[in-house]
Structures are given as C-alpha cells and as structure tokens.
Structure 1
Amino acid sequence: MSIHPLGGAHAPRTEPMRVLEEIKRLALETLGGLPGGLYEPVEDALKRSVQGDDGHDAPQLLYQNQAALWVLRQHHATHVMRYRQQVARGFDDFRVLRIRNRGDLPLGLIDESQIDFHLAGQGLAEAIEHSHSRALETMAGRLQAVAAVLGLPPTVNPIGPTRLATAFVETFNDEQVPAPLRVLLFAQYQRALDAELGELYAKVNELLANSGYGAAERAPTGAMPIRPPAPRADFDGVGQADSAGSRYEREERREQGTYAPPASGAPGAAPTSAELSELRSMLHAWRDGRLNNDAADAGAGQPPTPSRRQLRVEEVVSVASLLQGEPSDVFARALADSGRLASAIRDQLNDGSRRLGLNPEQISFSVEEEDAIDLVALLFDSVFSSHHLQDRARRLYARLVLPFIKVALTDQAMFVQSAHPARRLLDAITEACAGNRAETPQERELLDRAAAASQRVVAEYNEDLAIFETAHAELDALLQQQRRRIELQAERAAKATFGRERLNHAREQADAVLTRRIAAPPLSRAVSDFLGTSWRHHLVQTLLREGEDSESFAAAVALGDALVEADRIAADGRGRDLAQRLLALEPTIVACLGSSGLDPSSADHALAVLVKGLVYPNAPRDLHDPPAAHVDDDAAERERWLVGGMDPLRFDPSVFERMRALQPGEWLQLTDIQGETVDAKIAWISPLSARRLLVNRRGLRVLVASAEELASLATAGRLQVGCEPTAFEQAMRHMREELDRGVTRH
C-alpha cells in the first residue's frame, strides 16, 4: 500500500535519513536544555511543600532534600549532556544503528532502589501520551512510512512519550534522589514538556507531511518492534511491553467508563442483553438435559412432584444474607470437587429457608433463581479450572459464593458488563491468588490483602455494590506493585534468555573456527590441547565482548593460525625459526591465557607446557575430532511441550505464517504433553534466533520456541492464539464451553 502525505498525494519524498536528522535537530534544540531549567522551580516547590507541614521533622526533611538538590545542581552539565545523548539515542534506535552492538546491553537486574524512579517514568510516559494523543497518533503513521522506506519494522517514536521518559530516567539513573524530590522533579519535567511538546509535535508532523511522509492510515494496532530485551517497551529502563492485564484495564476504563447499574434498581432487574439471553438459553438447555437424565436414571412410575410456591427474589436474598456471615467450609469442600458447588448452594439455601420458618418441601426456586445459582456455581468452578489456585484461595473464594449469589439475583449485568464492580473484584482477587504459593513476603501480603477484601465484602455487603468497588480499590493499589514486579520478572527472563543465546551463539562460532584448525594438518597434543581449551575460551570471550567483525577477534583467530604454523615448523625440525616464532607470539599467548582467568604465574606455567610440547620434532601428531556438541540447556523445558525430540516438525504453512507474525505482548494458551493448560505471553523475540520467549501471568519463563515449533503445537491442537485478558472473561468462556458440551452429551 502506498502512503501519501496528507494534502499532497504526489509530493516528492525527501530522503528519509535527512528527515530524521532534521527532526533530531528540532528535538535537541527544543528539549536539550530541559534538565538545567528544573532546579529553581523544584526548589521553590520543595519549600512550599514543607512550609505547610507542621511536623517536628519538617525542617530535617527540607534540609535532606535541599542537600540532594544541591548535589544535582553540581552535576548540571553532566545531566544536560546525558539527556541530550539519550534523546539522540532514540534516533539511533529508530534507524537500528545499535542492533549490531546490542551485546553491550547490561544483563544484570535493576537495583531495587531505582524501581520507584523507573515507575515514575512509566507514569510520566502515560501522562504525555494522554495529553498529546492526537498528535502522536498522526506522527506514528508518518514515522511508519519513514520506517517502511528504510526497510525497517515498526519502531518506537524517537521523541514519543516512551523515549522522553527513558531519557529523563537514564539522566538521573545514578543519582540518589529522595522520594519527595523525585516527585517534584518528574512533575516539573512534565510541565516543561507540556509547554514545549505541542509546538514541537506540530512542527515534526508538518515536516513529515511536507517531506512526503504523510500517512492517511493509522499504524496497525498492537504493532511492536522486534528487539532484544533491553529493557521495557514502556521505556527502556524498566521493561518492553505493557502487561496485558494493565493495558486491558486502561483501555476498558477509557472505552466503557464506570459501571452503571440497571435503571430500575428493582431486585431481579436484568439487562435486556442479547448476550445474557443467549447465555440463559444455553443454561436452560443444559439444565433440562441434566434433569431428563436424572429422571431416566430414577426409572418410570415415579409420582409427580406436588405444586410448590416459588420463592420471591427478596426471600432468597434474605436467606443468603442470613447465611453470608457463617463459615463457608461446605462451599470450600464443594469447590475441591468440580460440579458439586451448585448442589451445595441449593442445600445451604434450603437449610437457611428452614431456619426462617419456610418448609423446603413446600417451596421451590424460580427459574431466575435457578439461573443465578447455576451461573455462579459454573463461574466459580470455571475460575478454579482455569487458574492454579491453592487451598487457601479455595477458602477465600468460598466466602464469596453467597455474596455473588445475591449479586446474580439482583443484578445479572455482572455476567455481561466488564466494568461491573463484583466482576472487577473477582478479577483482582484471582490476579492476586493465581499461582501464588506465598513463598515471598510480597506474595503473602497479596494473599492477606485478597483475604481482607473478601472478608470485607462478607461483612458489609447488603445489596450495595459500592462495597465491591471499595474492596477492589484497596486490593488494586497493591496489585499495581505486583504488576510492576511481574513486568520486571519478564524483563529478567528476557535478559537471561538473551544472555544464554549470545553465549551459545559465541560457542558455536568458536567451535566452527576451532574445527577448521584441528581437522588438518595433524597437530601435536600440546597445540591441540591449547587450541581446544584456552584458545577456544579466548575466542568465546572476544566474540561476546567485541563481536565477530572486531579487530580483536581477527587477532584471536590469527593466534590460532600462528600456533598451527608453529607446530608445522616444529615438525620440520626448524628450531631457530620455531624459537623466533614463539618469542613473537609470547605476548599474544599470555593475553589469551589471561582472558581465561589465569594469573601471571599460572599463565607462565601454561606457556611453558605449550613450548615444551613443541620442542620435540618427533612428537606424535594426529588429526582431531571436532568439539562435542553443546548440551541443550532447554532440554527439560522442550520435553514438557514438544513431542518427538529431533523428529521433523509437522505444521501447516499458513499456521507457520500466523505464528511468525505474532508480536511481543500477544497472548496464547498452551497445553503441555500432560494436558495442563497455561496462559502465556510473547515477551520477547530473539534478534539472534528469532525464537519467542513465552512467560506466564507471573512473568516467569514458560517456553522459548521458534515459529516452526509454535506452528507444530498449534497443528497438534495444543496452542490457541489469544486468551481472555481477565479471569472473569476466561471463566465465562469456559462456562460456555461446558454448557455446549453438556447440551451435546444430553
């Protein structure tokens, strides 16, 4: 598809690199000095913030923050220079100039003391995105046209919110900034950006359009760059991709707003939704099938059931309220055995009716009440079949059964409206509990907070949905931290995987070089041992540090060739030539031994062993086998997911193309060879092997696989593209599948 500038379909295109350089110049002229202008307004704001504090430690806090600000002022020139470098680096990333040097990316973990700084940067990026969304959307399409002309995949806007947040975070990354001062720094930087970005973005959009890169189409939704694990997609310092849960929550709130209850407000009022009507029709067919089977199992000739009075919704709600605060062990036991919860709910409601003076043999539930019971039972069963929930979580959910029965009776919008307060609380509790083994203080705190949320609902819910909103807000505040930890966990998994791939790739390259030297001519044992140990290790280290195209690697290869030649000289008995050759090689050999971690004394000893092996012309010389293949570090992981070992993979070409098109941030459902299903997100695509790193909802590594391997899983029916972003939606899908299967069986 050709992309023409808006307002000028036939305007000639300027060479894209010239356009990028002009944008870079504009950006640096407009934004390059921002860090230097922050300190005075920050100091004024700092004084105002402390003046209103009557606490006895206010002067001490002011002194500490002023001292930290004074230190920042002393580093003013460094900050401006570093910030300008970071802004310029965004353009290098756009042009993929740094891809070949990605080996210099730090593979370590982010220091815990810096996490809040990075998280503040994420919030800053989101605020800029919100304030300038229209201009950024236009710019995204036009920059996509520039990338297309350069033959590049979609890349990050070099002056977008992500990049500008990254630049600021990296500028102060090495500084010790107290929390109050950090807040003021980011606030002032945001104000400074807001004052400049409107005009800058307008100029850049005009420049792109006038240069022939006006884009009439929007950039494809979800398009993300394929890149090594540098950090985040939100901004380089923290992690590449938004977690699916947090992104979904932002989009849902933006598109749907807050929950609006049924207008009637009357008990039992249900939304006139086609989706809910369809769900209830499926439920009725499923329940009728079960009743028919039960009647057939009971045999013919049974007396008809006498007519019973149907309970009103208000009566069932009263019974549920009576039982709500009582121990929920019966529901916990029912959740341990799928399919028993609905019967347990009916038994408990009948028992509660008896305690209120209603004879269970003379009353029955209405169709709406039966629907509410079955829907809640199927919902909770589906949650437990979809997530890894521990025994403690089962008791937590059991407490929520009766409150959710009351919600289902009075507001069935819960089943079709994603912003419903009860629904959002269940999502939050499941997010806190799924896969949580309480192994860390953070995990234990999450479980405690989730338990407190459920207990609060039990204690205070009386048909006012506000309690669900309050409980959700309290739990979600902690979940925000959990989501950030998950993002960091996924980044660490990506960095570890990238580091391992780089090491394996370097070993394979070094082994290829080594094989060509030891295969011919015949070599003495001393030379072959040296080449296969110290020299091979030196090759690997040089490849990792300098790269294949570096002068250092060429020199390392030349050392191996020189030793092979020295061995040939020794075999010919040319002692004088051998001595001269070894003297010339001595500094290079010592450096090679040093890269293996040998101290000078050990290096001298190893050199002596090598020389001793060369001084005898008649020493036996042989051809040598290539080094053994590297052991697959991922063998156990692959055995869990891939069947057939080294057998050829089988897949449909169209499925392969679909797998190859998957981008970071997309979710899949995987089923291992034991039949266990897990949700997995593509967190990263390797620039070396194009393999995909898949992590679970906790950010932990699940599988690293090629597009071909994913295609074979999909062909075998053990991979589904896409999964519901929330626990409630996933449970609803499982519920529908269960109803479909039930109707088919009956």
Structure 2
Amino acid sequence: MNSAPLGLSAANLPPRVQRTLERALILVSEELDHGMQRLVEEFERELFRLADMSRNPGAETGYMRALRSFRLNRADLLPSFMVQVESGLAGLRSPATAPPPVPVEPEAPSFRNLSLLETSVMDEDTVLGEIASRHEGRATLALHLLGQRFGVLAGSPAFDAARLPLGPYALCRALRTAAVGMELDHDARLLLYRMFDRQVMPGYERVLDRLNELLADQGILPALVFVPVRARPAPVEARKDADEPPPAADRNPGEPAPGPGGRKPEQRLYTGWPGQAANADGAEDDDAAFAMLQQLLSGRRELIDKLRAERGAGGRRQMDTPDLMKALRGLQHGTAARRGDLPEIKRTILAQARQQYGEASALSPQDSDTFELVGLLYEQIENEIRADAPTSSLVRELQLPLLRLALLDRAFFLHNNHPARQLLNTIAESAARGTDQGDLDRAMVGPLQQAVKDVVERFDDDPAVFTRANAGLQQHMQVQARKAETLEKRHIEAARGKEKLEMARRRAAEVLDKAVGDRRLPHFARALLNQAWADVLTLTLLRQGEESEDWRQQVAATVDVISACLGEEGAGGPELAGHVQTSLSQVGYHEDEAAVIAQRLTATADDGDDPASRTELAMKLKARVRLGEDKVNAEKPQLPPRTAAEQARYEQLRVLPFGCWMEFSTNQQGDVVRRRLSWYSRITDNALFVNQRGQRVAEFSLDQLARMMARGQARLVTAERGRLVDRAWQATINALRSFAGRGDEVGTMRAGT
C-alpha cells in the first residue's frame, strides 16, 4: 500500500530551507495555474470533439466514457498535480537514488511479464520522456543554475534535470500520477500529456527564470552566473589524430556519444527535421563571429589591394548605400535577378551610375564586401543543391532580395536563426543533393513557391517581409515534421514489435533446450519441436506473458511432448494430441497439417516409419514462413571479425541517441544521401532508417554500419553540419580564411620581384 504524499509542513526540513521551498511552491502554483486551467478546458473540449467526429462506435464510446470520468474529477487535477510537486520538494533531503543511467551495454533481457500489453506502458514513458527531454533542451542554462541552487538547499551535489524536484521530468511524473488518479484510460492519458505540453509547458522557461530570481533573492547563490568556456579550434594535425572515437567503455554511462573524429559532446549530433528553424545563437557567439568576419574581410581587402596595386583603381566616385538600394530595387524583376547573376547585376548598377553622374563609380568597401559575401555564400549553396530539383530555381530568385536585405542588415551573416537565413535554408534544403526525388513532399512545392513570390514582390527594404514569409513557411514545415514523426513512430513501433518477437523466440528456444537437456530425440521429432512447437511457445509468450497460466501450461505440455517423443511409458495420448493440434492451429497451421504434426509429436517417433509421409511433411515445413522469420538476415554471409577501427565505431553506434542523422555514400563521385537513424536494438542489432518524410528506407545491422563507417561509406551528421546554409556559410568562412591567409605571401612575392 502506497503512503500518502509527504507535504512540506511534515518534511522536517531546516526552517530557512522550508520557507524557501514554500515560496518556490507558491510561485510555481501561481505560474502554472492559468495554463492548467486552460489545459482542463481544452482537454474536455478535445474529448468531446473526438467523440463527435469518430465514425467508430467503439471509439466514440471510449471518448465519451473518458469525458464523463474527466468531468467528474476535473476539479482534482490541479490539486493532485500540485500535491505531487510538493511531495517532490518535501523529499529534497530524503535519501533517493538517481534515475539509472542508460547502460553502455544492454542488461540481460528479462522475459518476465513479456506481453503485448507492455506497449501501453512504453508509450506513456515515451511520450512523457520526449516532453521532458524537449523542455530540458530548451532551458538547459536555467535548469543548470536551478540545479546548483537546489543542491545548496539539499546540502548535496547539484541536481541534474532528471532529479530536480521542479525539473521537467518531475512535472511529467506528477502529471502522470494525477492522471492515473482520475481514472482515465491509456489513450485519454496520452492525449492529456500532449495537451499539457501544448498548454502548460510553453511558459516553463519563464517559470525557471523566476525560480532562479526567487532563490537568488533568498540568498541562495545570488552571484551564480554561467560563463561558457569557448574551446579553441584544434589544429589540423590534432584533428587527424582524433579520427577514432574513444571506446564506449572509456565514457561514463549516459555521456553523449562522440561523433566521427572523436567529437566532444558540445559538437552534438544533428537530430532535427529538414527545414526546421535553428536554435538562437548566444550573444558571445555573435560578437566572436562579427569580429572574425571583420578580420577576414580586412585581410581579403588587403590581398585584393596588393593584387590590383598596379591597376590604378583610385579616383572613382563612391556610390552611397541608399543610391545602391534604389538601383537594386529597379532590377528586382530583371533577367539577371531571376538567374541570380550578381556580377552582372553589379556591372549593370555601376554602368547606370556612370551614365547618371558622368564618371566612373565604385561601391563602398562595406557594400562591395556584402556583394562578395552573398556571392560566395551562393557559390557554396549551389554546390549543395541539385540543378534538376523542382525548387532549385527558387534559391536563385531569392538571391537579389537577400542581397538587398544583407546591405541593410548584416546580422543575416551572423545569426543562424535570422528569419531570412532560415527561409533560405528551408528553400535550399528542399533541393539538397543529399535527398532523393521522393524525399520532397510535392505538396510543399506550392508553399515554397509562394514564400519566395511574397518576398520578391513585397520586399521594399522592410525586413519584416522576410519574417512573415518565413513564419508562414515554418508553419507548413512543422506540419510536415509532425507527419514525418507520426509515420516514423509507426515504423519504430513495428521494429519494437519485431524485437519483442525475437526476444520471445530466444526464450522459447531456451525453454526447449532446457526441457530436452542432454537427451537424444529422434531427428525428425526435434525438427518439429524446433520449428512448429517453438512457434507455439513464442506466440503464447507474446500474447500472455511469462507469468501467465497459459505459458505455464505450454511449458508443461512441452515436457509431456518430449516424453512422448522419447517413448516414455504413459506419455502422449489423445488429450495431449488434441492440445498440440489446437495450439498449432492458433499459430496458423492448417487443420490437416496440425493434426499430422500433433500425431508425430505425441506418439513414439520412429525415423524409419513412413518415410514418404515424413518427407512430405518436411517439405511443407521448409516452405512455410515461420513466425517472425527474416530469411534475408538468416541467410547473410559470415563476416570476418571486426577490426579495431570497426569495433570502435560499433561501440559508438550502440550508445547513439535515437533520431540522429547519417550520410551514406551513393557513388564514387562522393554524392551522399542523408538518412535518419530512428531506432536500433541492442538485442537484435538491427537499426531502422527513415527519410525526411518519415518513410522507412533501410534497415542495417549495427555491425554493417560500423564497417561502412570505418570504410568512409557512412558518417554521422553533427549539429554544425546539420543545416545546409550553415554548412555553406562555414565553407565560405573557411575559403575567406584561406584567401586572407595568403596576403603576406603575395606581399612578399611582390617585394621580391
């Protein structure tokens, strides 16, 4: 019997700690109250809507039953939720074990209670875990600071997000307890969790900020701040030496797996869906990027000046930025603009200025740099997209509006979450080389075209045009991402079902081997046991679980069948034969086949008895597809042992997070296709891959993947390489570094001539 949740008043905490926690509880209650009330109203409305729209009488009845139950208990949701939250705070100093880390090696699988009913529990854990993990990622800094402060209150080391009493995982656990207490069924609880994510959790970051402010005001680490440590870029030689990732055994359990080349956790893997908005950059990163960009452009200008020193480029009239913007506006709908031909646009602008003012003109250094930066960026983007893609022309149409925007707002180059940069990335990724023809949903072509059309026609030096176009397109992308996630989830559930089936097959084989022991069965009888009767054990285990009476009966029947096959006195008989025949019929054997097999398994077997009949039965069994059998994997060739490099990759793969992306080489020219590692099993070693639309496109074993990675045929995609425009911009910066770095060399060459 569970004890009642402990309240703060009965927690026996130091007075100051108790007062602080009471204030924190009041703050959380006030902050979440409005969202929880909205959740109650929206959840009730959604249940009614689903019942009204349902065409299935059974589903309609289920929704109405959930609605009635919820209406009876709706007033208890918030109090019950807050009681659980308070209980977590009250147990701050109670001995508690941390949530177990994800093991590097899988634990031995337990077959107790193995049944299809486990899926519902797994679904709840999965949904709540995803909600908590998502909000942990959005509020990492605030949770880190709050964990430090709660460590002070608890007189213990800092709390991580999973153990923090007011962390996202604690709130999700509190919600689950409250939902179970309201007697909602499984599907209704899942709906409640998702609506909690939409109605309550969007304000969670603000709650954390206010909690940190409250604790600081109460004197709990008032001077605590977070100062990120910027890592210096490693030299090229060091990067080459770091090609191999450290073995999994050398990392702490739960530590993020390194990417290719031994990447550190801060170089995290890319897990987003294509076209989704980037996370905001920090101010420190912006300042550093701006300073670096100025330095690179300065070095580039010095080199150009040295190369053009003998050309006498001085004496030209400098064109003002407003005049340049006016001239570009007039070219917006010209042929050069549609082709994205910046050099031709620049020549046209300068020719018009010469004609207007009667003298040669030049752009200002800053405007000229912007022209060059946009041009260089687009060169890199062109290398990343397919010319035959239906949306490749949209990328070029967007170039002139982007140039005009960059002349007004150079933050376009510095902020990877800039609306214009996000819009460009979404358009470019729809035509990326790493996608197949079927990866782009044709329904998205229209919204992509409309977004570009809106910018081209409406941009009149107002950055808000890009913001609106990007916001509208992002809504479509979010719908696509949800569709992909839904489809992906179905494939994952199917893969997990196959894993569960494989576990049941292994357990059935163990039971058979144990029952037979070291006794020698007739060859044909053993073949029937290993194939036909093993399917019966497997299906019983899947449907009923290992603790069920049905499973115990089948294990007992297995012992009786083996005794009958050995011809032991008193074994077999019509009753056992009938049981075996019925069991075989339940796994898909025809009545005649089931009867013949039952007779063979429950009577004294003689390999010399009726060889023609036995041969006919053996041929039928050989042609029959067994329960869960995968002939492709069963017939795969035996491979040599993994090399050290392959083993390191194999250990790395076994601790990867689900949802990361990999690139696979498709030909000798270096073309790649990008696929999402949706799920893998440490038990069966199978890995499931989907494309950008969530469609299943491949299954590999982890062993195959490790060998491919070691040969350079597959690689993990890190966050810094996740988005196309970010990759193109990084390539542009690298080109500028290389270009500017030759300035001194050119100067030396000129001085020596």
Q: Name the TM-score, length of structure 1 as normaliser.
A: 0.59
Quote the residue 1:719 is aligned against.
715
Report the more deviating stretch, 356-365 or 485-494. 356-365
User: Map of 1:356-505 to 2, 5 A cutoff?
Assistant: 358=355, 367-386=365-384, 391-430=389-428, 443-505=441-503
Quote the residue 2:292 is aligned against.
275
Asked whether the 8 Å contact 1:546–1:552 carries over to 2, the reply is yes
- Using the alignment, how far apart are the partners of 2:462 and 2:682 within structure 1? 53
SS in 1 for 2:462: coil
Asked whether the 8 Å contact 2:296–2:737 carries over to 1, the reply is no
Whether 2:685 is the aligned partner of 1:676: answer: no
Quote the residue 2:732 is aligned against.
735
Asked whether the 8 Å contact 2:300–2:739 carries over to 1, the reply is no
Whether 2:586 is the aligned partner of 1:595: answer: yes
Pick closer, same or farther for the CA change 1:288–1:95 going to 2, 3 Å.
same
- Using the alignment, how far apart are the partners of 1:364 and 1:635 within structure 2? 71
CA RMSD of aligned residues (A): 6.8
Asked whether the 8 Å contact 2:114–2:542 carries over to 1, the reply is no
User: Map of 1:82-231 to 2, 5 A cutoff?
Assistant: 104=116, 137-138=146-147, 160-163=170-173, 171=184, 174=187, 190=200
SS in 2 for 1:104: coil
Asked whether the 8 Å contact 2:296–2:740 carries over to 1, the reply is no
Give 5+ residue unaligned stretches, structure 2: 1-24, 46-59, 89-95, 102-106, 216-223, 229-251, 256-268, 747-753
Quote the residue 1:9 is aligned against.
none
Give a deviation string over 1:258-314, Cα, whole Å, max 9, x none: x99xxxxxxxxx99921212443576699899x89xx9xxxxxx9999986565544
Pick closer, same or farther for the CA change 1:723–1:166 going to 2, 3 Å.
same
> Post-superposition shift, 1:160?
2.6
- Using the alignment, how far apart are the partners of 2:44 and 2:521 within structure 1? 77
Asked whether the 8 Å contact 2:317–2:359 carries over to 1, the reply is no
Asked whether the 8 Å contact 2:572–2:603 carries over to 1, the reply is no
> Post-superposition shift, 1:493?
3.5
Quote the residue 1:531 is aligned against.
529
Give a deviation string over 1:438-493, Cα, whole Å, max 9, x none: 969x9344322221111111111122211111111211222222232233344334
- Using the alignment, how far apart are the partners of 2:384 and 2:293 within structure 1? 22
Identity within the alignment, %: 21
Pick closer, same or farther for the CA change 1:348–1:651 going to 2, 3 Å.
same
> Post-superposition shift, 1:404?
1.5
SS in 1 for 2:378: helix
Pick closer, same or farther for the CA change 1:458–1:444 going to 2, 3 Å.
same
> Post-superposition shift, 1:397?
1.0
Count how many residue pairs are aligned between Structure 1 and Structure 2: 601
Whether 2:352 is the aligned partner of 1:324: answer: no
- Using the alignment, how far apart are the partners of 2:534 and 2:156 within structure 1? 40
Whether 2:251 is the aligned partner of 1:252: answer: no
Asked whether the 8 Å contact 1:107–1:496 carries over to 2, the reply is no
- Using the alignment, how far apart are the partners of 2:304 and 2:505 within structure 1? 62
- Using the alignment, how far apart are the partners of 1:125 and 1:272 within structure 2? 28
Pick closer, same or farther for the CA change 1:188–1:512 going to 2, 3 Å.
closer
- Using the alignment, how far apart are the partners of 1:661 and 1:99 within structure 2? 20
- Using the alignment, how far apart are the partners of 1:553 and 1:44 within structure 2? 40
Asked whether the 8 Å contact 1:422–1:468 carries over to 2, the reply is yes
Give a deviation string over 1:18-69, Cα, whole Å, max 9, x none: xxxxxxxx9xxx9xxx9xx9799849998xxxxxxxxxxxxxxxxxx9x988
- Using the alignment, how far apart are the partners of 2:388 and 2:438 within structure 1? 12
Amino acid at match of 1:475: L
Higher relative contact order (CA 8 A, sep 6+): 2
Give a deviation string over 1:128-175, Cα, whole Å, max 9, x none: 998996699539987xx9999xxxx99997963444566788946646
Whether 2:346 is the aligned partner of 1:346: answer: no
2:573 corresponds, among 574, 582, 598, to 582
Asked whether the 8 Å contact 1:543–1:553 carries over to 2, the reply is yes
- Using the alignment, how far apart are the partners of 1:513 and 1:70 within structure 2? 43
Whether 2:671 is the aligned partner of 1:663: answer: no
- Using the alignment, how far apart are the partners of 1:44 and 1:539 within structure 2? 43
- Using the alignment, how far apart are the partners of 1:488 and 1:531 within structure 2? 40
- Using the alignment, how far apart are the partners of 1:647 and 1:316 within structure 2? 65
Amino acid at match of 1:732: W
Pick closer, same or farther for the CA change 1:124–1:670 going to 2, 3 Å.
closer
SS in 1 for 2:588: coil
Asked whether the 8 Å contact 1:692–1:704 carries over to 2, the reply is yes
- Using the alignment, how far apart are the partners of 2:315 and 2:185 within structure 1? 77
Whether 2:645 is the aligned partner of 1:651: answer: yes
Quote the residue 1:208 is aligned against.
none
Pick closer, same or farther for the CA change 1:127–1:712 going to 2, 3 Å.
closer
Asked whether the 8 Å contact 2:488–2:678 carries over to 1, the reply is yes
Give 5+ residue unaligned stretches, structure 1: 1-25, 47-64, 206-215, 227-240, 261-269, 296-301, 332-340
Asked whether the 8 Å contact 1:125–1:162 carries over to 2, the reply is no
> Post-superposition shift, 1:563?
3.2
Give a deviation string over 1:535-584, Cα, whole Å, max 9, x none: 13213323433556777556545544543432332xxxx8xx46x52334
1:566 corresponds, among 542, 564, 567, to 564
- Using the alignment, how far apart are the partners of 2:72 and 2:484 within structure 1? 36
